[in-house]
Amino acid sequence: MRNSTFNIQSSIFNMQILRLAVPSVVTNITVPLLGLVDTTVVGHMGRAEYIAAVAIGSTIFNMVYWLFGFLRMGTTGIVSQAHGAGDERGIREGLMHSFTFGLFISFCILLLQTPLLRLALWIMEPSQEVAHLASDYFRVCIWGAPAMLSSYALSGWFIGMQDTRTPMRMAILQNLLNILCTILFVFVFHLGVQGVALGTVVGLYCGCAYAAHCLPPSPPQGKGEPACSERKLPSFGGVGGGLFLRTLCLVAVTVYFTTAGSRMGTMVLDANALLMQFFMVFSYFTDGLANAAEALSGEYVGRQDRVGLRLVIRSLFLWGFVLALVFTVLYALCGAWILTLFTNQQEVVTFARPYLPWIVAVPLVGFAAFVWDGVYIGMTLTSRMFFSMLVSAIVFFASWFLLHHFTQSQADFHASQLGNHALWFSFLAYLATRSLMQTLLFGRKK
């Protein structure tokens, strides 16, 4: 009888996980499609400077918006707990606090847009012509900041309410309108890079308006019993602060990985850019699983149901392991062929091929970090997320500097390509440390 009950619960958890994860994966897949279309459009505008300008402008916004991703994640954690506790007021306030905070940040970004642009161009050091075009792109695209950060709040709210289909439809609408408007503004109205930026802004506001329209007139009834609603929900400031600091560490590792590769030469930079696409594709799927983890773990915390929480975490890790195993086999068998799909530059493919074993190891080494991220966000244990990310970042930099110092002392450094192997080893050590630290910290009392 007990085994039968456990099997039924596992089946329910698996259905919930799939229902939440699959739309999130579809949402993630739309992101590279948009970048591909933008690159294709500017690639047909007649000047190579256009491609560089849009690439620089997009990088600036990606980094800025990435830092404020805590608006989405923090909202999901707080709202999912309120949903599980049956706290209608908490459900409503979770959205309002995030939305208000996002508008305040947007105001600051718009106010500081000139020094922000100058700082970014000073760091990237583009040519004068590219800098001028990138500035044109930036000064139009910056006006999409309120819509982007509001979309974070709205997406976080819907995921916290266990609705990942509305954010999926919002992302698809944003991207389709962005593509259509970009083509219209560039090839019909001949607005150049400003047309590309304007297409992005129109898509952002239309997607945000659609999500706002989908909000119910009053908060839906939560799942918890009335007694659960007495539980005090965490503050948005405390949750967001931990997530912001955690993101700073993540950005530091990601940016330095690219910087270290570029210092070893253009070929290493190009090869690593291709190899990192394997990691990004894997992350699109595991991020979907993490979104499911956020919503479900938050619900069971709100219900104060520790047994249910542990059972759903067990199911999440089972799905994570299966997903990692599939990608490991896929990369092991087809990695070399996939490289040829990314580029037709045979020299780069040949150079990148010796590093494929590191890519094969990424899914099994890193899947737990993604699953734990979702669980910790749902449980709003963001200070522990920051601590585990800080330790992981320290491990990355320590491993790299020690191994890089050793490889530089070798006479055949460039011939053996030891430097890039050291960089990839450090990256996997960073992923493994994230998984290990969060596993160790989970058992501690909150």
Residues 6+ apart with CB under 8 A from 10: 311, 315
pLDDT digits (tens, 9 = 90+) for 45-75: 767 678 778 878 888 888 888 889 999 999 9
In this structure, the number of other CB atoms found within 10 A of the CB of residue 10 comes to 15
Low-confidence ranges of the chain (pLDDT < 50): 227, 229, 411, 413, 415-416
Q: How many CB atoms lie under 10 A from the CB of residue 4? A: 8
Rounded distance between C-alpha atoms, residue 204 and residue 184, angstroms: 16
Q: Contact at 8 Å (CB) between 396 and 318?
A: no
* Geometric angle at alpha carbon 14, from 304 and 329, rounded to 5°: 125
Calpha distance 176→37 (Å, rounded): 10
Q: What is the pLDDT of residue 415?
A: 40
Angle, helix 382-408 to helix 418-442, in steps of 10 degrees: 160
Q: Alpha-carbon Rg of the chain, whole angstroms?
A: 22
CA 275/CA 269 separation, integer angstroms? 10
Burial letters 269-303, b for 16+ CB under 10 A, else e: bbbbbbbbbbbebbbbbbbbbbbbbbbbbbbbbbb
